[in-house]
């Protein structure tokens, strides 16, 4: 169980995230949708301290993190319990696909090399890229790179995997393969928080949908509720604007 309380983030006198609370149960797939600039990505990045929140608390099972006073060990510990998948993949350009995955295991979590290799290869197999283990990122397509990025996140067996618009930078025909993998992960019961524009996907995979606007959660609930029967005007406006058909 993950309890997130009162995350706030301002930047140059502009409040981007206005005090957000969220409770995530094990196996939940929380999908966050909303217009650009609503703060959803910033909120997500606060969860693994890629953005320094002004205040907030995160409870990950037994561990309690106060985002206002994070020591270096706190930050490292938080990041080792979470995993992040980036919008532009951010694979380590100077490492092979396999090395990209073992890096977090061997160096950050002190897993022995041989064991790390085995784990990494399984992760690659799961995303269907076993034969590309020794390829460098520049030899892979966007979709393949993102899949390696997901493998990198799976391998560390984190308590929650955070996805920042995982398909936004992909060519349309490559979006499907990535979404398929996320769907498999959902079926396996991985806890995930996904920021995305793919509303149809949200409907298929989410256990909870959050509509974010102007720094706060406007509407929250099961996908059928939020996406098909939105209660708030802003949610209705947003959904109608992107022409989501029920």
Partner 1 sequence: MISLHIDKIPSLLGQIIPFIPVTLFVVFISSVLGSLLGGAIARLLFSQKKLSRRFAQTYIYLLRCTPPIVLLFIVYYGLPKLFLNLFEIDLNVLDKLIFVVISFTLLFAASAAETFRSAYLAIDAGQTEAGLASGLTALQTFWRIIFPQALRVALPNYCNSLVNLMKEGTLAYTIGLVDLMGQANLILGRNYGNYAIETYLSVAIVYWLFVLIIELSFNMLERHLAFERLPKKAKEGVHGYPVLD
Give whichever of 125 and 232 is closer to partner 1, judged by the CB atom: 125
What residues pair up with 45 in beta bridges, in sequence order? Answer: none
End-to-end CA separation in angstroms for the chain: 32
Give whichever of 51 and 219 is closer to partner 1, judged by the CB atom: 51
- Compute the chain's Rg from CA coordinates: 18
DSSP-derived letter for residue 206 is -
Tally of CB atoms within 10 A around 62:
5
Q: What is the DSSP string of 169-189?
A: TS-HHHHHHHHHHHHHHHHHT
- Least gap, CB of 34 to partner 1 (angstroms): 22
Give whichever of 132 and 219 is closer to partner 1, judged by the CB atom: 132
- Least gap, CB of 167 to partner 1 (angstroms): 17
Q: Is 87 helix (H, G, I), strand (E, B) or coil?
A: coil
- With a CB cutoff of 8 Å and minimum separation 6, the contacts of 13 are none
- Least gap, CB of 104 to partner 1 (angstroms): 4
- Least gap, CB of 78 to partner 1 (angstroms): 9
Under the rule (CB under 8 A), what is the footprint of partner 1? 48, 50, 72, 76, 79-80, 82-84, 86, 88, 90-96, 103-104, 107-109, 117-119, 121-122, 125, 130-136, 138-139, 152, 156
Give whichever of 4 and 91 is closer to partner 1, judged by the CB atom: 91
């Amino acid at each position: 169980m993950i309890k997130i309380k009162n995350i706030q983030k301002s930047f140059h006198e502009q409040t981007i995230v206005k005090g957000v609370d969220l409770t995530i149960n094990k196996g939940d797939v929380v999908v966050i949708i909303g217009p650009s600039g609503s703060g959803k990505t910033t909120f997500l990045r606060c969860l693994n301290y890629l953005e320094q929140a002004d205040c907030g608390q995160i409870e990950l099972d037994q561990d309690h993190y106060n985002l206002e006073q994070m020591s270096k060990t706190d930050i490292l510990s938080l990041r080792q319990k979470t995993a992040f998948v980036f919008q532009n993949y951010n694979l380590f350009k100077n490492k092979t696909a396999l090395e990209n995955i073992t890096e977090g295991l061997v160096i950050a979590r002190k897993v022995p090399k041989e064991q790390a290799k085995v784990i990494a290869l399984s992760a690659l197999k799961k995303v269907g890229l076993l034969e590309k283990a020794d390829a460098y990122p520049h030899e892979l397509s966007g979709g393949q790179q993102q899949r390696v990025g997901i493998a990198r996140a799976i391998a560390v067996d984190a308590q929650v995997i955070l996805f920042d618009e995982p398909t936004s930078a992909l060519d349309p025909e490559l979006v499907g393969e990535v979404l398929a993998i996320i769907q498999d992960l959902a079926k396996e019961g991985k806890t995930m928080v996904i920021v995305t524009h793919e509303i149809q996907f949200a409907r298929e995979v989410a256990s909870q949908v959050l509509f974010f606007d102007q720094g706060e959660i406007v509407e929250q609930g099961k996908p059928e509720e939020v996406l098909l029967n939105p209660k708030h005007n802003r949610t209705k406006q947003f959904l109608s604007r992107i022409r989501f058909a029920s």
